[in-house]
Amino acid sequence: MTIAEQAINDSELMLSLLRDWARAGWIRWLDAELADFLYQQTDSQQPAPALLLLAAALTSHQSGHGHVCLDLQYCLQEPDRALALPPDHASHTPDIRPASVLSCITLPQWLNAIRHPLITGSGTGNSPLVLSVPGQQPRPMLYLRRFWQYEQQIREAIQQRLLHPAGLDDNCLQEVLDELFPGLTIPVNWQKIACALAARSRFSIITGGPGTGKTTTVVRLLAALNRINPADQKPLRIRLAAPTGKAAVRLSESIRSQLDELRYPDNIPTEVSTVHRLLGPVHNSRFFRHNGTNPLPADVVVIDEASMVDVELMAQLMDALPSHARLILLGDKDQLASVEAGAVLGSLCERAEAGNYTPDTANWLKKTTGGQSVPTSMTDASGLPLDQAVTMLRYSHRFGQIPGIGALAQAVNQNADNILALFDGRYAELAHLTLRSTRDQKFEQLILNNEHGYGDYLQLVRELPAQIKAVTDVAVNSATRPDTRAILDNLAKAILQAFGRFQLLAALRKGEFGVEELNLRIESILRNEPQQQSHEWYAGRPVMLTRNDYALKLMNGDIGIALPYPDAGADNSRLRVAFMDSSHANGIRWVLPSRLQSIETVYAMTVHKSQGSEFRHTALILPPYDNPILTRELVYTAITRASGQFTLLDVDPDLLKTAASRRVFRVSGLVDSAQR
């Protein structure tokens, strides 16, 4: 009998294997310690079986990889893929791999061991694990209790809102929609349809790719809701939020632009907060000030970039909503899911492509939207309640002048076989560089390029000391003192804008092609120094916050640049970090480096961190080897961050096709539960 075969019947041996996997970096110590803790909680009368300990550790492991639960059947069928093993940069390969142990197990055998009366329940009680068998084709799912509870909160909140639609005067809605969408003759105006569906529901989703008009649609929707709000009622309390500070700023700017262009009434806010700030975080806890007992003072809540919202945050948002409030989710279903566990938007939009509108919904839309007909291919007599609240915007206006980026994004989602052919020179906005390593001269040339790299930003940083001296000299010698702070703010703004025009994106964090090494390499290029480990502050260092800092009013994802700042009465300048901040008079917030705790250098960032951002030129660098993290969603997200130019950097050109052919698979029971 092999060790793997012995381990499935020996709890002590299984715990030893789990510790070995943790030492090798194949699972986290947290995962192994959870199994050991559960073992210690049982006694000799009802000991925790080895297979239960294995299941608990792997369920915890999956939460660290973005999954809400463990799909037991999938784990047995394709263990390495299901568990994303082997991991990047593991210290070594364990003698007994998880796949070897799982190959000795049958599903009935595993289920029998998991059903322990003290550890695993079906949802009631307070068992640490929950076993769920959802769907018409049962696939057993094992949850850590808190993730099961999050899904239940989301499911129940959506169901309640779908069961109790907003009361509307259809004729009034039709008049308002005709006014807001005048003279549009396209065959199917999905923006108008989205407004109609969202107006009649207390829960709705508007999804679509870049340039499909999600912001335009939601501004018109808010205008419609204001106009159909009875005159004797108080004005609607509308709250806007996004997952990151950067995404919040982008939404705020987009709404301002729309309001200026469309001349809508004043009761459409332009202030956008992060979701965390909206809910009111309680210091040093996982809880928020707004919850089920202290709901948000809001009638309408709009969440942009909802694909980035994880299952825990979405559950807490749902809990904080008043029962009468509308929740409108905006986002691109094809983008990467949240870094934390869950893919809420992606799961809820699984059927969006096909529409699945019932004949009743289709007839109502035709009447309410002035004759807009849903294509017959998108009608379904058995359409689910959730389907009637989801609209996919299908026509992109963003890539009209840069069709190559649009074609590339479409190819990633629909035709990966021909994706490399798009780099044949027909599109000036697409470039492909094959590298030998990050020391390749082509890489250095890209980074230093004035038009398409960091060249402009670097030049502005070099010129800044002389410009500061000129300002301070004038301030000292001139009878009419200039507004030094305003001048410094404008100089900082120009540098931040120059830096933000180009961004190098990477799939990995570790290794030569990961962001950590890439940032060191770029520092060495820009400073013309040998590459070395350095966390020192210097003029021009770009940094990104990795955690929210509410004291400084800076959010996870905010980017700042260290620049010289003349202190009053001092001959020499001290470094301060400049951040864009629309709440300040000149749009800049200055922070002492010593006050920034959770930061990293950000010449290169992961694709995950780039969500909610847009850059004129985006470059994606792929590692020289395949990795499970390379997926269609990752490539699509990287491409669609570019508004003017996209460059692919790789060692193996075929890797792009491989990545585009692989979908992100996030295990969750939300879709089935939300639709029941």
Q: pLDDT tens, 175-196?
A: 888 888 887 666 788 999 999 9
What is the pLDDT at residue 61?
95
> What average pLDDT does range 649-655 have in this prediction?
88
What DSSP designation does 554 have?
A: B
Q: Is the pLDDT of residue 645 over 80?
A: yes
The whole-angstrom separation of Cα 524 and Cα 510 is 18
Confidence at residue 532, expressed as pLDDT on a 0 to 100 scale: 45
**Does pLDDT of 441 surpass 60?**
yes
- Lowest mean pLDDT, pick from 85-94, 347-356, 480-489, 566-575: 566-575
Locus of tokens 């410094």: 488
Spatial separation of the C-alpha atoms in residues 472 and 657, rounded to whole Å: 55
The more confident residue out of 47 and 587 is: 47
Q: Mean per-residue pLDDT for 636-660? A: 89
**Among 546, 584, 558, 544, residue whose Cα is nearest residue 246:** 558
Percent share of the chain, pLDDT over 70: 91
- 10 Å Cβ neighbour count for 434? 12
Beta bridge partners of 554: 549
- Predicted local distance difference test score (pLDDT) of residue 265: 62
Residue 314 pLDDT? 93
| Predicted TM-score of the model (pTM) | 0.83
Average pLDDT for 436-450: 87
Lowest mean pLDDT among 137-141, 234-238, 591-595: 137-141
pLDDT at 396: 73
Angle at 660 between CA 659 and CA 662, to 5 degrees: 70
- Encoded tokens for 499: 């830096």
Give me the pLDDT at residue 317, please.
Answer: 94
Instruction: Tokens 């929210």: give the residue.
Output: 548
Q: Where are the beta strands (DSSP E) in 95-237?
A: 120-121, 129-132, 141-144, 203-208
User: Residue type for 648, please?
Assistant: L
Q: Where are the alpha helices (DSSP H) in 280-394?
A: 311-320, 344-348, 359-368
d(CA 473, CA 493): 21
Q: Is 90 exceeded by the pLDDT of residue 589?
A: no
The model's confidence at residue 320, banded by pLDDT at 50, 70 and 90, is very high
Q: How far apart are CA 614 and CA 134, in angstroms?
A: 39
Q: Where residue 120 falls among pLDDT bands split at 50, 70, 90?
A: very high
**What pLDDT is attached to residue 284?**
75
Span of 87-96, 178-187, 351-360, 461-470 with lowest mean pLDDT: 178-187
For the stretch 29-82, pLDDT in tens is: 999 999 999 999 888 788 899 999 999 999 999 998 889 999 999 999 999 988
Specify the pairing of strand 573-580 against strand 559-566: antiparallel
Using alpha carbons, select from 108, 204, 110 the residue that is nearest to residue 161: 204
- Pairing assessment for the beta strands 326-331 and 390-393 based on DSSP bridges: unpaired
**pLDDT higher for 535 or 549?**
549
Q: Of the ranges 97-106, 334-343, 608-617, which is most confident? A: 97-106
Burial 332-354 (b: 16+ CB within 10 A, else e): bbbbbbbeebbbbbbbbbebbee
Of the two residues 584 and 496, the one the predictor is more confident about is: 496
- Residue 465 has a pLDDT of 85
CB count within 10 Å of CB 63 equals 22
Asked if 213 and 170 touch (Cβ cutoff 8 Å), the reply is: no
Amino acid at 563: L
Tokens of 565: 């700042």
Residue 569 pLDDT > 70: no
Are 375 and 598 in contact, with CB atoms under 8 Å apart? no
Q: Would you call the peptide bond into 269 cis, given omega within 30 degrees of 0 as the criterion?
A: no
Residues of the chain above pLDDT 90, percent: 36
More confident of the two residues 180 and 357: 357
Under the banding of pLDDT at 50, 70 and 90, the label for residue 674 is very low
* DSSP letter for each residue of 445-501: HHHH-TTTSSHHHHHHHHHHHHHHHHHHHHHHH-SS---HHHHHHHHHHHHHHHHHT
pLDDT, residue 673, reads 45
Q: What are phi and psi of 575, to 5 degrees?
A: -75, 135
Token readout for 344 is: 């809420």
Mean pLDDT across the chain, nearest whole number?
85
Ranges assigned E (strand) in 527-654: 542-545, 559-566, 573-580, 588-591, 599-601, 604-606, 615-621, 642-650
Whole-number Å distance between alpha carbons of 226 and 235: 7
Q: Do residues 248 and 555 touch, judged by C-beta distance below 8 A?
A: yes
- Amino acid 473: pLDDT: 66
Question: Is pLDDT above 90 for 524?
Answer: no
- Predicted pLDDT of residue 231: 65
Q: Residues 131-142: pLDDT tens digits?
A: 988 655 568 999
pLDDT digits (tens, 9 = 90+) for 196-208: 999 999 999 999 8
Structure tokens at 513: 């092609």
Closest CA to 281 of 549, 598, 546, 580: 549
620 vs 226, which has greater pLDDT? Answer: 620
